[in-house]
Chain A
Amino acid sequence: MREPMRYDVIVVGAGVAGLVAAVRAAEGGARVLVLAKGVGATHLAPGTVDVLGYADGHRVQRPLDELPDFIGAHPGHPYVMVGAEEIEAALKWLQARVAAGPLPGYRYVGSPGENLLLPTAVGALKPSALAPASVAAGDLRDGGRLALVTIGQLRDFFPALAAAALAQVDGVQARAIELPLRAAARNDLNALGLAERFEDVVFRESVAAALHGRLEDDERVGFPAALGLQDPDGVWSDLQERLGRPVFEIPTLPPSVPGIRLFGILRAALRRAGGRIVVGGEVTGVEAERAHVRAVRAHVAAREQRHSTDWLVLATGGFASGGLEMDSRWQVHEPVLGLPVTGVPDPGAPRFTPRYFDDHPLARAGIATDAYQRPVAPSGERLYENVLVAGAALAGAAPWREKSGDGISVATGYRAGGQILEQVTPAAGGSQTTVSTEA
């Protein structure tokens, strides 16, 4: 058996929150291991960073300006402990990592100062703070004329639907074009399969040729978010050049190509900083003493491994990612540390209400923490000194409805990584202090 391994930080979960925490800690000199049962929500999510899109029924234009009121109205929300400044810093940090990443020219644009309004695949306008430049090019804050294009073999994008809805927006004209191109032998492409095809210059040529003479002068051309995976900026630029007009991407059904790009960027940043990531490593147990996690056991490639660590970042996500679980007797569990879950309705009380778009009682369930993101019991008592919770596992948010999911993940992951760095002396393996105890 191999020697047990030692880390400064073990991050559980390879979604945006976990990867951001891991990269930040690793770049600061910490020895970091990311353990994840599978890939995270990046592969499902549209790859935009939504900080705050809707607050109490209205669409948010300027997230940072509205944050104080929003925080006031939602005292248990993760943004209460993060605050506007750190959100802004976290997003800038992320933009820099993307720009310095392995995809040449690929970058995230926008700011939490003002939301972009990005068309979705059904034709809603979704407020997002940051987006890949190729997605942000579809911004409709100032309206415009759009031609939304798909390839018939793609089964996951229907521009006719989006165009019909978008045409209802003042100042927006939209129409759909379906190209009867054969992109692949199999008539059943998803976005990932199509992204591979767009890497091929011959295919791009055929797309441009099929669109030749069919576009109006002032039309922007929207494609499903499938414009390449290895060199998306090259694919995007090439299409803009060939079509002689702005081109943009619209995120569509999973697998999410922009999300997979983001995952690749963060993973590369982690490795560059000397961190390790094991996807397919399920945490099976945690050793703790006196409110400190000392080691993590994980099942990796049919073997049990034990890693000792000074810090644990819990970034396992909410119910969607398996970071929270509810059994058939309606009991809610946090599976890694068995932390208490807050925001769960009492037994017998409704967990959901009968209208889908309601604010459901269970929606904000999650792990309660102190101001440093350390988990606390319902009494407020701190449960672990060296555990920090980040991302969708945190209580208090309704990320999909608020359009705050990746904003929370980036900000709380960034903050968790930063807090650890304040405590870890670089390259001094074995050193360990706890964060100060006043909350």
Chain B
Amino acid sequence: MPQLQADLLVIGGGATGAGIAWDAALRGFDTILVERYDLATGTTGRFHGLLHSGGRYAVKDPDAARECIEENRILRRIAAGSIEDTGGLFVVTPGDDPAYADRLLAGCAETGVPCEEIGVEQALRSEPRLNPQIKRALRVPDASIDVWLLVNGLARGAADRGARILPYHEVVAVHRGDDAITGVRAHNHVTGEDVDIEAGFTINASGAWAAQVCELAGIEGVGVVPGKGIMIAMNHRLVNTVVNRCIPPSDGDILVPIRTVSVIGTTDVHVTDPDDHEISQDEVDQMLDSGEQLVPGFRQARALRVWTGARPLFRDEKADQAGDREISRAHTLLDHLERDGLARFLTITSGKLTTYRLMAKDTVDGMCRQLGLDRPTTTADTPLPDYRDGSAFRLGGRLRHKEDHLLDEQLVCECELVPRAWLEEHVRASGTTNLDDLRRSLRLGMGPCQGGFCMYRAAGIVQGIKDLAAPEADTSLRNFLEERWKGVWPILYGDQLRQARLDDWIFQGLLDVEHLPGDGAAHVASHGRRTAPAGMPDEDA
């Protein structure tokens, strides 16, 4: 069995884990990060894309609001290229209590979140699709953030400083000495091998899965309640500004324009399994009705994809016994030395994407404290290597690129304007052959046709580079179709149903992917898992 050693082992490749790897690498720790599937396929990737201004928390949770605005400003400096400065609005829609806007203004003033009331007319001028019946509109510095750009940027930055980032490595055992955690055993889903990792320190940054990792370590009573929320990506940017409904936090209260789509969310249903991604028709209808409230005619727009994400809500059963039943939304750092007498092991959970950097900093600070080291964080002032030039993400960037290369470049994905050269470069650099990973990395197949045209092309291009054995290539294409289907079938209506039938025409009527020679499905086991197992995330945004 292969053996690896590091100062620090991070479990979890979401924003928090990748943020910890980057923070720790900057502080000079030799770091390994393991993630059970691809990076950002847990809660991070199953997200609506909102970089909070803090306005959403200004009334109910002033501390969270303060954290959000501070981090919002930091991230615009250090991860500029992953953030689009859309701005945000809180709008009072018909039937909402107009007085809540006053509470919001007051809360924002108190917590330092810039918030000004603008006229309804001005709001409608800037966002003409907004419900013309809105009664008030407040402007806040919300933004949208591309989590794949962010997490891949963090991982690349960490790797540049020597960190080893290991996707598709699932922790199957946690090694425990008498009074300390000493590492883990991870299963490599690509090769099918197990690997032992010995670590001077281990951080459990698995978020909604934190309780499961603690159980592997023999730690009892860590309660993480997955709060399942549904999100639907709509074709087009129905709005160009983040639109929040100006009411206390509620279901379906946010519409986020991100890249070429807009995402409506969300709900909060407490479930037992963070991998529970079941979507009910009622939830879909609820989101469409909420969208209609913000943007009349919403139901006539095309819904591209639906997914759910599990927010980790922390509840420590040890604290429960002391009578504190409050479920915390702020992030929670558990020092298992204090809590369980186990050294060299921390768990970080809860929190929100906007504050991932702060979570990472607090966690690495906690490790330094336990190790008696004085190495302060530098993440607030160190731009990610990919974003050193400090310019924000601009929606027209890809179109400009295409226009500059009109004659010489071949497009793989017309919806998201992905040139063949980017795909080839990425496949060569990352070594991945997984079409679903390519989708996340390049936004290949995230547009209206949901891979109808580009996935055949991508499979062909990958084949040209990697010369895969046929069963592997077939499995990759078929698994992509299955993964895609999970995110589209609950929202197929209108033009998107038509699009899906056109895609059937291509994949079944023209290519007949169902009947490839040799039973591809039978080869899944023997050729390792290039694609995550069934039930695997199916995020978008």
List chain A positions with a Cβ less than 8 A from chain B: 41, 44-46, 54, 59, 120-126, 153, 155-158, 160-161, 164-169, 178, 185-188, 251-254, 256, 318-322, 325-330, 348, 351-357, 360, 399-401, 403, 405
**B429 contacts which chain A residues (CB < 8 A)?**
none
Q: How many residues of B contact A (CB 8 A)?
A: 58
Instruction: Report the bound CA distance from A125 to B509 in whole Å.
Output: 12
Assess whether B515 is in contact with A54, with CB atoms less than 8 Å apart: yes
| Contacts A46-B509, A166-B517, A322-B498; A356 near B482 (Cβ below 8 A) | yes
The residue in chain A whose Cβ has the minimal distance to the Cβ of B513 is A122
Q: Which residues of A contact B493 (CB under 8 A)?
A: 326-328, 330
Whether B247 sits at the interface, judged by CB under 8 Å, is: no
Given contacts A121-B511, A122-B511, contact A155 B470 (CB under 8 A): no
Chain A residues near B281: list those with CB within 8 A: 330, 348
A328 near B288 with CB under 8 A, answer: yes
Interface 0/1 of B293-333, CB less than 8 Å to A: 00000011001000000000000000000000000000000
Known A355-B485, A400-B504; judge A46-B456 contact (CB<8 A): no
Determine the chain A residues whose CB is within 8 A of the CB of B120 once the complex forms. Answer: none
Pairwise interchain contact A155-B494, C-beta atoms closer than 8 A: no
Contact A253 B517 (CB under 8 A): no
A124-B513, A168-B470 known; A44 vs B489 contact (CB < 8 Å): no
Question: Is A167's CB under 8 angstroms from B407's CB?
Answer: no
A351–B512 CA distance with the chains assembled, in angstroms? 22
Q: Is B409 an interface residue (CB 8 A)?
A: yes
Q: List 27 A-B contacts (CB under 8 A).
A: A54-B515, A120-B511, A122-B459, A122-B516, A123-B517, A124-B512, A124-B514, A126-B512, A153-B410, A155-B410, A155-B412, A157-B460, A158-B460, A161-B459, A164-B467, A164-B469, A187-B409, A188-B409, A253-B453, A319-B497, A319-B498, A320-B501, A330-B281, A360-B489, A400-B505, A400-B508, A401-B514
Chain B residues positioned under 8 Å from A178 (CB to CB): 464
For A318, list chain B residues within 8 Å (CB): 501
Contacts between chains A and B (CB distance < 8 A), count: 167
Q: Which residue of A lies closest to B460 (CB)?
A: A158
Q: How long is the Cα–Cα vector from A162 to B390 in the complex, in angstroms?
A: 44
Q: A320-B501, A356-B485 are in contact. Are A399 and B509 (CB under 8 A)?
A: yes
In the complex, the answer to whether A124 meets B461 with C-beta atoms within 8 Å is no
In whole angstroms, what is the CA distance A153 to B468 when docked?
Answer: 23
**A325 to chain B: which residues have CB within 8 Å?**
494, 497-498
Look across to chain B and name the residue whose beta carbon is closest to the beta carbon of A152.
Answer: B410
Q: Are A44 and B407 in contact (CB under 8 A)?
A: no
Bound-complex Cα distance A336 to B464 (A): 47
Measured between alpha carbons, how far is A122 from B453 in the docked complex, in Å? 13
B486 within 8 A of A: yes
Our pick among B300, B411, B461, B473 for the contact of A165 (Cβ within 8 Å) is B473
Q: Output the nearest chain B residue to A399 by Cβ-Cβ distance.
A: B509
Chain B contacts with A in 448-505, Cβ cutoff 8 A: 453, 456-457, 459-461, 463-464, 467-471, 473-474, 477, 481-482, 484-486, 489-490, 492-494, 497-498, 501-502, 504-505
- The answer to whether the Cβ of B1 comes within 8 Å of any Cβ in the partner chain is no
Q: Which of B411, B481, B482, B517 has the most CB of A within 10 A?
A: B517
A351–B492 CB distance below 8 A: yes
Are A326 and B509 touching (Cβ within 8 A)? no
A158 touches B464 (CB 8 A): yes
Contacts of A124 in B (CB 8 A): 511-517
Establish whether residues A326 and B494, one from each chain, have CB atoms under 8 Å apart when the complex forms.
Answer: yes
Q: Mark B395-432, 1 if CB is under 8 A from A, else 0.
A: 00000000000111111100000001000000000000
Judge whether A164 and B473 touch: CB under 8 Å. Answer: yes
Cross-chain contact A357 with B459 (CB below 8 angstroms): no
Q: Given A122-B459, A320-B505, A328-B299, is A165 in contact with B510 using a C-beta cutoff of 8 Å? A: no
Return chain B residues, CB-CB under 8 Å to A328: 288, 299-300, 303, 493-494
In contact, A352 and B501 (Cβ under 8 angstroms): no
Interface pair A354/B486, CB less than 8 Å apart? yes
Tell me whether A44 and B459 are in contact in the complex, defined as CB-CB below 8 angstroms, given that A124-B511, A355-B485 are known contacts: no
Q: Which residue of B lies closest to A405 (CB)?
A: B509
Chain B contacts for A327, CB-based, 8 A? 299, 493-494
Contact of A125 among B461, B508, B515 (CB under 8 A): B515
| Binary CB contact string for chain B from 225 to 253 against chain A (1 if under 8 A, 0 otherwise) | 00000000000000000000000000000
B406: chain A residues at CB < 8 Å are 186
**Chain B residues, Cβ within 8 Å of A321:** 498
